[in-house]
Amino acid sequence: MSSGRATQELLDRLVEGARAAARAGRVADYIPALARARPEAVGAAITSVEGELLESGEARAGFTLQSVSKAIALPYVIDARGEEAVFSRVGKEPTGDPFNSIIRLEASSLKKPYNPMINAGAIVLSSLMPGSTGEERAAGFRGYAAALLGLPSLALDEEVYRSEAATANKNRSIAWFLKELGLVEGEVDEALDGYFRQCATLVDAASLSRCGACLALDGLEPGSAGGSGRRLMSERAARVTKALMCSCGLYDGSGAFCVEAGIPAKSGVGGGILASARGRAGIGSYGPALDPRGNSAAGLSIVEGLSRELGLFAL
Amino acid sequence: MSSGRATQELLDRLVEGARAAARAGRVADYIPALARARPEAVGAAITSVEGELLESGEARAGFTLQSVSKAIALPYVIDARGEEAVFSRVGKEPTGDPFNSIIRLEASSLKKPYNPMINAGAIVLSSLMPGSTGEERAAGFRGYAAALLGLPSLALDEEVYRSEAATANKNRSIAWFLKELGLVEGEVDEALDGYFRQCATLVDAASLSRCGACLALDGLEPGSAGGSGRRLMSERAARVTKALMCSCGLYDGSGAFCVEAGIPAKSGVGGGILASARGRAGIGSYGPALDPRGNSAAGLSIVEGLSRELGLFAL
Amino acid sequence: MSSGRATQELLDRLVEGARAAARAGRVADYIPALARARPEAVGAAITSVEGELLESGEARAGFTLQSVSKAIALPYVIDARGEEAVFSRVGKEPTGDPFNSIIRLEASSLKKPYNPMINAGAIVLSSLMPGSTGEERAAGFRGYAAALLGLPSLALDEEVYRSEAATANKNRSIAWFLKELGLVEGEVDEALDGYFRQCATLVDAASLSRCGACLALDGLEPGSAGGSGRRLMSERAARVTKALMCSCGLYDGSGAFCVEAGIPAKSGVGGGILASARGRAGIGSYGPALDPRGNSAAGLSIVEGLSRELGLFAL
Amino acid sequence: MSSGRATQELLDRLVEGARAAARAGRVADYIPALARARPEAVGAAITSVEGELLESGEARAGFTLQSVSKAIALPYVIDARGEEAVFSRVGKEPTGDPFNSIIRLEASSLKKPYNPMINAGAIVLSSLMPGSTGEERAAGFRGYAAALLGLPSLALDEEVYRSEAATANKNRSIAWFLKELGLVEGEVDEALDGYFRQCATLVDAASLSRCGACLALDGLEPGSAGGSGRRLMSERAARVTKALMCSCGLYDGSGAFCVEAGIPAKSGVGGGILASARGRAGIGSYGPALDPRGNSAAGLSIVEGLSRELGLFAL
């Protein structure tokens, strides 16, 4: 990154400027635990590949990963089970459908989820995680994620987890269809339970940015010498994940985001965005007020602004 | 690029190695003029941003742009008519459907083509080109394209053009649906005629690589000083185009290609691939034997090999 | 029919009662010639199989057949070209889609229109009519229809024909898709022209009821002795047509109408309904104010009332 | 019916003739209990509205109702809960989709199953039956059905029930989607359990024919005086059911069957067909070898033959 001070000022300015976007957004309200988020909350952080962290606003406010977890589950399962185990059951192609659509499972000749960034793909991956219960699998996932986020451990938001499990009729429908297609390993209910737990993992923007920096180093731990040498994720898993974040990371707004920011990113309805600028830095943002596509309104504004001002457009 | 000599050797090796992939592919046969292509033909070229050209195999063999033209039509219409004129009529999102699908025009609430890289989007763009007849519009397109390819002018392959126009029932169906949606400017038949002519533009791999180098410079002409300063395409058009090539450039294989190569590219059933490595080089390849998704089998092998060996993965 | 007098009184009562339904409907307005229809117009007629005609309200007001023509085109083409020529190109199954949908032509493995009562099926049938131009084919169709309606000849509403031809982008899209599937005989434009002309045939409710009586006699001319013996339509064509009217005759309201009336019927956006009660009578109704599904609001009320009061429910 | 003797000879001839059709069919094999059925088994029965029973072949062989149960569940729930309770949650329209498709639940604006003859509709109806567990509901269903079939009670095929419950991933997927749409009353698992039990009800062709005779009398018990006067089903329920059997009773072959037979019928993959000829008779047939659409090959041949020879075509 250019001078730390200039970047800090830029970050402060973008966080401040994003408050207007936040006011135009809406907090997810399909479960009470998410509906209680403060829509005006905005925070962001950058971790350089050297490991330097800059933060602004509510960069330490806790929120649940939700779909951001898909960008961590993917390298976790690739590293744990191998690429073949994953991509024999899930595709690599973007789909123009909503994240929770079931139509293509029936209509497409592919007979598997189009990619791991939609719910159907993520439920399959949940079933492939080491362990046989949702609880065991989610514990393993949290361990892998904690290393990427630079934390000793990660906690589960019990209330969010319970709410999601109680209202997940559509996801249950998807999961049983996946079982019919032979894509779920083990019990459907355990695959779902693991998925709900993974989505309910508590994080903050600061630690997300560290995960982004690891992706920016193709899986190495950020550190003083442009990569400490400690590998947290295989290089292949990092590249696969970033490629799929690029085409499928922001729901129905993935293409438009790629035009504006030109870097891989993944959003979640909890308000988080994780982004990665190759060889430069990772970005984490928080803002629970969502745009109509389900992406953090403030987060989009901040990440696009950082890409524009820091010249991160990678394509 | 590293040393020119090493790159030349790499290119030669990849072109040679791609002949096996070519043998496993199939030449497009929906019109006789394409069916006559020699499936064993393979060629490729790299143009660095400094303007240095390396080539190997049949890098000067002529073929028609076909869908590669979509990656040139897009910046042409953005530069001629403005971004709003384009994206009020066409989206920016990938679609999991085949390139010539009509379903979403009816089924989706978007009521416009998902992106400019599918036939429906390209027909809309054809109707937006300056001029009122297909002939006028295609002449303008060829002029714009010639500058990008570093040539004084480009020719139309009359036989391919006539064949396509005579067998284009599905494209006619798409075009009338677009007219119903109010997305075609002027006459449907002229939009189609312009589109067929644009697809039948004659090029070779060497000149395609120069176009890729221009995209790699965000629209500047390749030249000795890392960009000659002469702008052939607006910076915004270049970025929009590269972002959409990245998520939608290789038909139903776009996502898998992004995983392997990690750079923007666009293929056509004439056997060409155009690719661009930011700040580094452009790549053009030719190999009319196609894989099941309609992408040049040899071309994929070459471009992915170059990305891997030269470290072009951008994400 | 029971006593002619009681039936006349019933008919008068139902026509009068249907005026309220008419007021809640909306005249078709996609072309000016249809938009000028008086929404309050209501008329109906019954022709017994003995050939006795009862009429009420505006049973002699002229209107265009529109989709009612599909129930006449089907037996015409079956009788002229044979059942195999028809059903090798068009199915016999209802579809849950709108009458002018194109989706299944691409999405379904059937690769032909589901039935002859949707636009796609009717355009295929238009191309199969004797003659090579739309004008010739429509003249043949009008001749066949005139015999069924008990008239010496039928006229074309030139204004409606011209309007439809000028605004038929969606139908053109369907027709080119059908051409791609190899289902249109001859020129696409002639198939469309014939279809527009067929839809623009001028009729009234009284003569429609006579056509219904002919169907009620499985194709015999209505007459004093319970069928005069003169055959206007093959028995097979009559049965096929009535079966398809039953499952597909009233657009997205076919199933609900079958529940209420239990007899074959076909509606058109010109405001007509043609119905047939086996061995009993034919019914024709007119009322250009349409319900949200495109069926004559008054007509539904009248035909359902007649079925209920006269015990026509056939299933 | 004409003379009992002539009809008996006709029935014998048709049953004999159907053995060839049976040999061309295939027994359902998605569960072992069905796969063990003898494909050459053929039987049929007619019950006149006067209550006279004629039978031929294996008319007393037991089989499970499977989808034939939908034609009994519908009047049961209409009579138990009222028409509004049913049709606020399920439509009356045919759908061109397979019986177990989930697509329209997501894609259609209707947001409810198109009709009660597809799995989605039947699962909703199962949830509306009196009782709160699947077992209670199925017991009530069997009581209602037994009266229609003229038997003191009906038994559950435990093995088929258990197999279906164990392999019903697709139905579970549908049921959870219905829950998401707010269409399932009570627990999803109980709605499914009731549905599996209902499908596994043991019947034979002879008793099915008696049920058909009851429908032929609009719900009255067949008996010596052309209807004994004892009402087993409301008249409205009978008519609604017959109308929906007519357009949706034979899976993707409903339209073709209506053309050939012209009477309401419902088939099941257990090999049964239930048909009804208004004011004449009921028909039951058995033949577990199915045609590609899932309808009993022998049964189709027999029912279409009876309609043709006895002049049952009702439209």
- Of chain A, the percentage scoring pLDDT greater than 70 comes to 98
Nearest to C239 among D246, D259, D264 (CB): D259
Mapped onto helix, strand or coil, the DSSP state of residue A109 is: coil
B193 has a pLDDT exceeding 90: yes
pLDDT score, position C226: 53
Q: Please provide the DSSP assignment of chain B as one string.
A: ---HHHHHHHHHHHHHHHHHHHHHSEE--SSHHHHTS-TT--EEEEEETT--EEEEESTT--EE-GGGGHHHHHHHHHHHH-HHHHHTTS-----SS-TT--HHHHHSTT-S-S-TTSHHHHHHHHHHSSSSSHHHHHHHHHHHHHHHHT-S---B-HHHHHHHHHT-HHHHHHHHHHHHTT---S-HHHHHHHHHHHHTBEE-HHHHHHHHHHHHTTTBPP-TTTS-S-BSS-HHHHHHHHHHHHHHTTGGGHHHHHHHH-S-EEE-TTSEEEEEETTTEEEEEE--EE-TTSSBHHHHHHHHHHHHHHT----
pLDDT score, position B60: 98
Nearest to A246 among B240, B246, B253 (CB): B246
Q: Could you give the ipTM of this predicted complex?
A: 0.96
**CB-based contact C247 D313, cutoff 8 Å:** no
Q: Exactly one of A15, A42, A56, A67 is catalytic; which is it?
A: A67
Count of beta carbons in the 10 Å neighbourhood of residue C3: 8
Does the domain made of C4-64+201-310 have the CATH classification 1.20.120.420? no
A196 has a pLDDT exceeding 90: yes
Quick check: is D209 catalytic? no
B225 has a pLDDT exceeding 90: no
pLDDT score, position A139: 98
> Can you name the residues that pair with D48 across neighbouring β-strands?
D281
Alpha-carbon dihedral of residues D265, D269, D272, D277, nearest 10 degrees?
0
Q: Which region among A239-248, D2-11, D17-26 has the lowest average model confidence (pLDDT)?
A: D2-11
Count of beta carbons in the 10 Å neighbourhood of residue C15: 27
- Residues of chain D with Cβ-Cβ distance to A169 below 8 Å are 176-177, 179-180, 188
Question: What architecture is the A4-65+204-310 domain classified under in CATH?
Answer: 3-Layer(aba) Sandwich (3.40)
Nearest to B94 among A104, A247, A262 (CB): A247
**CB-based contact B255 A94, cutoff 8 Å:** yes
Count of beta carbons in the 10 Å neighbourhood of residue C231: 16
- Supply A287's token pair: 């803002």
**CB-based contact B173 C177, cutoff 8 Å:** yes
Quick check: is D195 catalytic? yes
**CB-based contact B173 C170, cutoff 8 Å:** no
CA distance B294 to chain C (A): 19
**D66 contact partners, CB below 8 Å, separation of at least 6:** D199, D268, D269, D270, D272
CA distance A158 to chain B (A): 35
Over range A230-259, report the average pLDDT: 97
Largest CA distance in chain D: 55
C97 has a pLDDT exceeding 70: yes
Q: What is the pLDDT of residues D163-179, one digit of tens each?
A: 999 999 999 999 999 99
Residue spans in chain C of domains classed CATH 3.40.710.10? 4-64+201-310, 67-199
Q: Which CATH class is domain B4-65+203-310?
A: alpha beta
Q: Exactly one of C70, C112, C242, C266 is catalytic; which is it?
A: C70
**CB-based contact B244 A252, cutoff 8 Å:** no
With contact defined as beta carbons under 8 Å apart, do D135 and D197 qualify? yes
**CB-based contact A253 B315, cutoff 8 Å:** no
Residue spans in chain D of domains classed CATH 3.40.710.10? 4-66+203-310, 67-199
Q: Phi, psi (5° rounding) for residue A64?
A: -95, 145
pLDDT score, position C3: 76
Q: What is the pLDDT of residues A131-144, one digit of tens each?
A: 999 999 999 999 99
- Residues of chain B with Cβ-Cβ distance to C174 below 8 Å are 173
The continuous run of DSSP H or E covering C179 comes out as helix C169-180
With contact defined as beta carbons under 8 Å apart, do D42 and D58 qualify? yes
- Residues of chain B with Cβ-Cβ distance to A102 below 8 Å are none
**A222 contact partners, CB below 8 Å, separation of at least 6:** A47, A48, A49, A50, A51, A150, A210, A213, A214, A216, A228, A282
Nearest to C278 among D114, D115, D315 (CB): D315
Residues of D with CB under 8 A from a CB of A: 101-103, 106-107, 169-170, 172-177, 179-180, 188
Quick check: is B42 catalytic? no
pLDDT score, position A225: 61
**D129 contact partners, CB below 8 Å, separation of at least 6:** D73, D76, D77, D80, D137, D138, D140, D141, D194
**CB-based contact B101 C106, cutoff 8 Å:** yes
Q: Which band of pLDDT confidence, cut at 50, 70 and 90, is reported for residue C227?
A: low
pLDDT score, position B228: 65
Q: Which band of pLDDT confidence, cut at 50, 70 and 90, is reported for residue D96?
A: confident
> Can you name the residues that pair with B239 across neighbouring β-strands?
none
Amino acid at residue number B103: I
**CB-based contact D315 C263, cutoff 8 Å:** yes
pTM for this entry = 0.96
Q: Which residue of A has its CA nearest to B256?
A: A92
Question: What architecture is the D67-199 domain classified under in CATH?
Answer: 3-Layer(aba) Sandwich (3.40)
- Residues of chain B with Cβ-Cβ distance to C103 below 8 Å are 102-103, 106-107
Q: What is the pLDDT of residues A18-66, one digit of tens each?
A: 999 999 999 999 888 899 999 999 999 999 999 999 999 999 999 999 9
Q: Name the residue among B73, B76, B70, B40 with its Cα closest to residue B58.
A: B40
Q: What is the pLDDT of residues C245-296, one digit of tens each?
A: 999 999 999 999 999 999 999 999 999 999 999 999 999 999 999 999 999 9
With contact defined as beta carbons under 8 Å apart, do C146 and C153 qualify? yes
- Supply D190's token pair: 């109980």
Over range A243-269, report the average pLDDT: 97
D125 has a pLDDT exceeding 80: yes
Please state which of the four CATH numbers 3.40.50.620, 2.30.110.10, 3.40.710.10, 3.30.360.10 is assigned to the domain occupying D4-66+203-310: 3.40.710.10
Quick check: is A269 catalytic? yes
Quick check: is A161 catalytic? no
Q: What is the pLDDT of residues C22-60, one digit of tens each?
A: 999 999 998 888 999 999 999 999 999 999 999 999 999
Residue spans in chain A of domains classed CATH 3.40.710.10? 4-65+204-310, 67-199
Q: Exactly one of D48, D56, D67, D163 is catalytic; which is it?
A: D67
